[in-house]
Structure 1
Amino acid sequence: MHIRSLLRRKGSAVTTIAASASVREALDRLAEHGIGALVVSSDGRTVEGIVSERDVVHGLHQQGTGVLDEPVSAVMTAEVHTCVPGAGVEELARTMTDHRVRHVPVVEDGALVGIVSIGDVVKARLDQLEEERARLVDYIQTG
């Protein structure tokens, strides 16, 4: 299965935030949308960074509650691992595991077209395994 198929199922909506917005605003947006990460983008197309719940927790630990009034750029991850829609789910799972990331923006021709979470990858893989199991059972039962 390719990321393109996964995005067709889950949708391609991506919640973004400007690097100049406050960390408090980022937390509000994360809670409002029930998500774990925001793509940092000034225009909604380019990926300038990513800010996750984990980034905020690290910022709070290092700087205290004052970090909430700092800009997102103070806590965001600037080196973002991205993938293309044609990437395979297994390949992306490996990338996420190797780099210990939970959210990967999907970029095509330099433009943001979606985001994939580790939960999306696990669900897609479980769906694949269930489909394979059903085919094997059918093969065994029907010959």
Structure 2
Amino acid sequence: MRIAEILNTKGSSVTTVGPDLDIRSLLALLTEHNIGAVVVSPDGSRITGIVSERDIVRALHLHGAALLDSPVSRIMTTEVRTCSPDDHVDGLRRVMTDHRVRHLPVVVDGRLTGIVSIGDVVKSAISELKTEREQLVEYLQGGY
């Protein structure tokens, strides 16, 4: 399965924030949208970073509550791993596991076009396994 198929199912909407947004407002946005990460972008298209719940928790531990009034740019990850709609889910699973990331922005020609989470990847794997199981059961029952 390709990433494009996941985006066709879940949609290509991505929540982005500017690098100057304060972390307190970021927390409200994550809660409001029930998401675990946002892409940091000055224009909603170019990626300058990504911030996850994990980034916030680690930064709060190091810097304390005063961090909440700091800009997102202070804690964002600037080396953002991305994928394309043509990438295969199997490869993405390896990237996410090897690099311990849970969210990968989808990029086409340098422009943000979607985001895929580890949940999306797991859901697609379960769907593929279910389809294979159904085909095997049908085969074993003489359906071919």
Percent identity, please.
Answer: 55
Paired residue for 1:35?
35
TM-score (norm: length of structure 2): 0.98
* Partner-residue secondary structure (3-state), 1:132: helix
Q: Alpha-carbon deviation of 1:25?
A: 1.0
Q: Distance in 2 between matches of 1:74 and 1:41?
A: 14
Aligned 1:116-127 pairs, distance under 5 A: 116-127=116-127
Q: Distance in 2 between matches of 1:28 and 1:77?
A: 19
Paired residue for 2:79?
79
Paired residue for 1:53?
53
Paired residue for 1:115?
115
1:13 aligns to 2:13 (yes or no) = yes
* Partner-residue secondary structure (3-state), 1:80: coil
Q: Distance in 2 between matches of 1:141 and 1:78?
A: 53
List gaps (5 residues or longer) in structure 2.
none
Q: Distance in 2 between matches of 1:104 and 1:26?
A: 18
Q: Alpha-carbon deviation of 1:125?
A: 0.4
For 2:28, the aligned partner's letter is D
**Matched residues, number:** 143
* Partner-residue secondary structure (3-state), 1:112: strand
Paired residue for 1:135?
135
TM-score (norm: length of structure 1): 0.99
Tell me the alpha carbon deviations over residues 44-81 of structure 1, each in whole angstroms, 9 at most, x when there is no partner.
Answer: 00111000000000110000001100000111111110
Tell me the alpha carbon deviations over residues 88-139 of structure 1, each in whole angstroms, 9 at most, x when there is no partner.
Answer: 0010010000000000000001110000000000000000000001001111
Paired residue for 2:102?
102
Runs of 4+ in 1 over 6 A off after TM superposition: none
Q: Distance in 1 between matches of 2:67 and 2:120?
A: 30
Structural RMSD (CA): 0.6
